[in-house]
Structure 1
């Protein structure tokens, strides 16, 4: 399958405050998250969209990535259930700290409720203020990759929040015929024929 990956960046913190969430949802920061829960969130959000790259990761690979200093997860909850998340991954550079939005998205149950833009706005603010919570140099750049394997509104959502496209790349990926779905991606067994 042909996959187009778009890289976007933001070089200044937006002036506008993020919009509030409805009263029935809340956003929690997880500065320390278990690899099991990180993998679950990845499968929950990415199952409908061909997110398969990390499903075969070992626990050690998850542990190593999550141990990067300053890594944060911002998890959106409603009625006690995870509705989506933002995974922030900072890296030092010669110009300060560059923060990648490693993963971002909503669970299927949360889609269509106007939460995606709000979650991204809060994730952007969290990325720019990350040095306030971790011993990091000031943020000089916030960036993200999105691709045609993500939800159809992802690119437009990033651009609406102030991200600017800096490049695109086309590759051919060996993928299943259709998305695995959240059930299989979070560790459930596929239905037997």
Structure 2
């Protein structure tokens, strides 16, 4: 019998250029939560009991311990960092996305770098800490999350190398400018 071994989507180490630092981070489990029609309030209450946070509203990120509930689109949130309690299935469709998405972290001059790659206005005044948004990252679908240190960008695992390359190129452009 063949044994399969999970591998990282990227073997590149941290990259620094243009005052920014890029690295791959382990997000832990990722579960999409799509509440059934009329069940969003019940899902939020069940999430509060099971994980200490409610269902994330548009553009919001909730956190309790290692877990986060991140708004990920219309009537959709991702539970990241903890395994979803099985009781949530009574109120929402649950989909394990852990193997399909990766998380890249960009710190430092992240706003300047990302201004070259996404149409989002990611300046702190327009996109403060604790916010999330779905958009494109160099024409690839991505979920952006702002925290105190910078940004996390969730991209499809199959596009991780392309996303890394595009961000690295933008970092070099920022470095050349300055």
Q: TM-score range by the shorter chain?
A: under 0.3
TM-score, length basis structure 1: 0.25
Which of 1 and 2 has higher RCO (CA within 8 Å, sep 6+)? 1
